Every structure is written in structure tokens, then in C-alpha cells.
């Protein structure tokens, strides 16, 4: 296939030089290291009295705390359906405050009808992509887990990964899927030892590592050329004129 001789010398005529930034190590080096403990928010997707997703969430919380993290668990009891009320509902405000406080998330959903539950999705749907100039999820790390009543499946964690990407989170590679969860927890609600528990330890360990690596750099890591252009006052004025809301 024909192509210009390298190195390319025909320029980048479509690039806005004013908004383009060359990524460098210096640009993502933290100016001031954080001294507080890594902050994690855990969401789980069931309201049952004996909820295996909640029990798995508690196991993750214990591990993250032992690793030096500070953990908050959101309980979705009383959270309204998305769009059934306004965002000033106390449970919605609680969820958003926790997300803003956090530096990493753990999402744990049961698999129901081959996918994540409505309880899980409602919590995520109440988290906006942006609220003014603040983004409650952008740049935060994310670990995904699921529990199943039957054989091993990855439908819920796969869907959670899609949602995490859409919410612009840094989703770690590892994940946990616990099949036949009723066999994996004892009468006291503690997860039994074995390969499935070991995988949960792996996931929490990896989440802690990624959070320590990225939390001070999150703003730089998710800063985008296209959004720098969108924030430009001249561009906003031009777009407004194109759609009839402003004069050139």
C-alpha cells in the first residue's frame, strides 16, 4: 500500500495545536503525593436478607481495609428507581457524595436472567457522567465481581465492565465470578477458603495497586484532547452560533 515516506512530513492540518498536548512522564508525575488512605466505595446488587453479593462485598471490604484502604459500602435500600424522583432525594445524594469521596470502586452484582440486576444498574444509573464541572466516577479505579446461583458465568462482570468504561473508570484486568454462591459462604456469612476466595484476594490486591498508581494522576490520565477543545470558550461560542443559540 502506498504511503508517504517516513518520518511523515505532510503535517497534521486537522489538529488544533492550541489544544494538543504531547504526553510526557513529567505531565503525569504528581506534584504532591497523597498521604491519606486510599478510599473505596463498594456497591452490591441485591436487597435480599441473605444476599451473597453483599457477603462478597463485605469480604472485599475486609481485604481492602487490611491492605490499608478506607472503605464505605452503599446500601441501596430506599434508593428510588432512576427518573422516578429528582436527584435531590437523600439516598441519591448519599450515593453521589460517596462516589465523589472515593478513589476506587468495587461493583458486586448477582447474575439474574443472564445479566446484572436492576438494583445494581439503578445505582450506577444514578451516578451522572458529570455534575457541573465535577465527574463522580471519571478516573477512579474499578473492580468488578459477580455471584451466581448456578454454574460459572461472566455475563454480569462483562456488563459491569461496559458500564465502567462508559463511566470513564479505570477498570482493572482481574475480576471475580463466584458460581453456586450458596456453597461458598458459611452460616456466619464468611466466604470459605479455596480457589474462589483466593481470586477475590487477587482482585482486591490488584485494585489497591492500580489505585495507588493512578489516584494522584487521575486528572491527567483522563484529560482528553477532544474535551479540551469542547471547553474552549471560542469553540462553545461557535457551536452555539451553529445551532442558533448565539451570534457569531
pLDDT in tens, 114-149: 999 999 999 999 998 876 656 789 999 999 999 999
pTM of the full predicted structure?
0.88
Q: Which tens digit of pLDDT belongs to each residue from 150-183?
A: 989 999 999 999 999 999 999 999 999 999 999 9
Reported confidence tier of residue 237, pLDDT bands at 50, 70, 90: low
Integer-rounded Cα radius of gyration of the chain: 21
Residue 208 clears pLDDT 80, i.e. is over it: yes
Q: Which tens digit of pLDDT belongs to each residue from 55-75?
A: 999 999 999 999 999 999 999
Contacts of 176 (CB under 8 A, 6+ apart): 56, 143, 144, 145, 146, 157, 196, 199, 200, 202, 203
Residue 226 clears pLDDT 60, i.e. is over it: yes
Q: What is the torsion angle, in degrees rounded to the nearest 10, for the CA atoms of residue 150, residue 117, residue 63 and residue 71? A: -170
184 in helix, strand or coil? coil
Q: Which range, of 141-145, 186-190, 219-223, 234-238, averages the lowest pLDDT?
A: 234-238
- Compute the mean pLDDT over every residue in the chain, rounded to the nearest whole number: 90
Reported confidence tier of residue 248, pLDDT bands at 50, 70, 90: very low
Amino acid at each position: 500500500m502506498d504511503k508517504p515516506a517516513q518520518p511523515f512530513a505532510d503535517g497534521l492540518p486537522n489538529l488544533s495545536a492550541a489544544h494538543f498536548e504531547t504526553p510526557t512522564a513529567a505531565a503525569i508525575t504528581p506534584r504532591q503525593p497523597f498521604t491519606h488512605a486510599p478510599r473505596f466505595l463498594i456497591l452490591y446488587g441485591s436487597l435480599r436478607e441473605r444476599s451473597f453479593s453483599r457477603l462478597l462485598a463485605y469480604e472485599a471490604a475486609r481485604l481492602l481495609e487490611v491492605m490499608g484502604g478506607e472503605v464505605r459500602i452503599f446500601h441501596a435500600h430506599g434508593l428510588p428507581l432512576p427518573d422516578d424522583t429528582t436527584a435531590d432525594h437523600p439516598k441519591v445524594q448519599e450515593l453521589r457524595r460517596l462516589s465523589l469521596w472515593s478513589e476506587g470502586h468495587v461493583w458486586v452484582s448477582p447474575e439474574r436472567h443472564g445479566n446484572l440486576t436492576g438494583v445494581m444498574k439503578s445505582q450506577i444509573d444514578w451516578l451522572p457522567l458529570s455534575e457541573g464541572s465535577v465527574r463522580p466516577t471519571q478516573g477512579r479505579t474499578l473492580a468488578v465481581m459477580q455471584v451466581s446461583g448456578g454454574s460459572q458465568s461472566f455475563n454480569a462482570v462483562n456488563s459491569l465492565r461496559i458500564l465502567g468504561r462508559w463511566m470513564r473508570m479505570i477498570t482493572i484486568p482481574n475480576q471475580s465470578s463466584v458460581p453456586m454462591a450458596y456453597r461458598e459462604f458459611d452460616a456466619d456469612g464468611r466466604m470459605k477458603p479455596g480457589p474462589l476466595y483466593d481470586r477475590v484476594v487477587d482482585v482486591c490486591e490488584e485494585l489497591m495497586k492500580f489505585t495507588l498508581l493512578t489516584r494522584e494522576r487521575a486528572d491527567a490520565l483522563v484529560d482528553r484532547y477532544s474535551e479540551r477543545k469542547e471547553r474552549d470558550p471560542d469553540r462553545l461560542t461557535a457551536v452555539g452560533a451553529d445551532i442558533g443559540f448565539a451570534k457569531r
